[in-house]
């Protein structure tokens, strides 16, 4: 096994998830090749990095908390390309809609080196084992005791996640 390449690709995936869940869109975009494609369901297909990032940036604003944990890497390296299976466990909370989502899926990614020799995501897709949603109205005691984006839009603070 090419342990060095596997370690580099794993870090790429971790940076991808961290940037996604902290809404750090330039850092997120940097994990993808410009021509990267992504498929999440029949109606969610993206033919370029820009289309994919724009969609996520528009959809996952500060009103949405996302949590994507990726584990169980099964990465095969073939020279300058590689494939990876990952086990996703994800949670989404939309406080304003009282919506909670929990699910799991297996990612099937392809990776390739860019011109500078750095590993990037060339294609990402996943197949869910399950996805569940419920309303926080069923749990009247539920409250967020911390929310990195809670202060966005409040008049006195301009910087997300920074307390006074």
Transcribe 54-91 into DSSP letters.
HHHHHHS-TT-EEEEEEEEEEEEEETTEEEEEEEEEEE
Is the Cβ–Cβ distance between 69 and 49 less than 8 Å?
Answer: no
Is the Cβ–Cβ distance between 90 and 98 less than 8 Å?
Answer: no
> If binding is defined by CB under 8 A, does position 15 make contact with a second copy?
yes
- Region near a second copy per CB under 8 A, out of 27-35, 45-53, 72-80, 107-115: 72-80
| CA neighbours closer than 13 Å in the CB half-sphere of residue 66 | 20
Would you say 76 or 80 has its CB closer to a second copy?
Answer: 76
Would you say 33 or 88 has its CB closer to a second copy?
Answer: 88
> If binding is defined by CB under 8 A, does position 50 make contact with a second copy?
no
> If binding is defined by CB under 8 A, does position 160 make contact with a second copy?
no
Binding test (CB under 8 A) with a second copy, winner from 58, 59, 71, 156: 71
Residues 6+ apart with CB under 8 A from 136: 95, 98, 99, 100, 142
The distance of closest approach from Cβ of residue 144 to a second copy in the complex, given in angstroms and rounded to an integer, is 5
| CA neighbours closer than 13 Å in the CB half-sphere of residue 142 | 14
Would you say 6 or 121 has its CB closer to a second copy?
Answer: 6
The distance of closest approach from Cβ of residue 72 to a second copy in the complex, given in angstroms and rounded to an integer, is 4
Binding site for a second copy (CB under 8 A): 1, 3-4, 6-8, 11, 13-15, 17-18, 21-22, 42, 65, 67, 69-74, 85, 87, 89, 91, 93, 101, 103-104, 106, 127-135, 137-148, 161, 163
């Amino acid at each position: 096994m090419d342990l060095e390449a596997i370690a580099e690709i794993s870090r790429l995936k971790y940076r991808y998830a961290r940037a996604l869940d902290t809404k750090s869109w330039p850092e997120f975009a940097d994990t993808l090749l410009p021509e990267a494609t992504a498929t999440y369901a029949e109606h969610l297909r993206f033919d370029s990095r820009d289309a994919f990032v724009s969609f996520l940036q528009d959809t996952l604003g500060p009103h949405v908390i996302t949590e994507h944990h990726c584990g169980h890497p099964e990465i095969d390296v073939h020279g300058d390309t590689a494939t990876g299976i990952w086990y996703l466990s994800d949670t989404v909370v939309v406080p304003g809609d009282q919506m909670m989502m929990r699910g799991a899926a297996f990612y099937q990614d392809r990776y390739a080196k860019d011109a500078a020799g750095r590993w990037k995501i060339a294609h990402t897709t996943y197949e869910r084992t399950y996805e569940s949603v419920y309303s926080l109205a069923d749990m009247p005691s539920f409250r967020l005791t911390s929310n990195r984006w809670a202060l966005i839009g409040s008049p006195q603070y301009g910087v997300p996640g920074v307390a006074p």
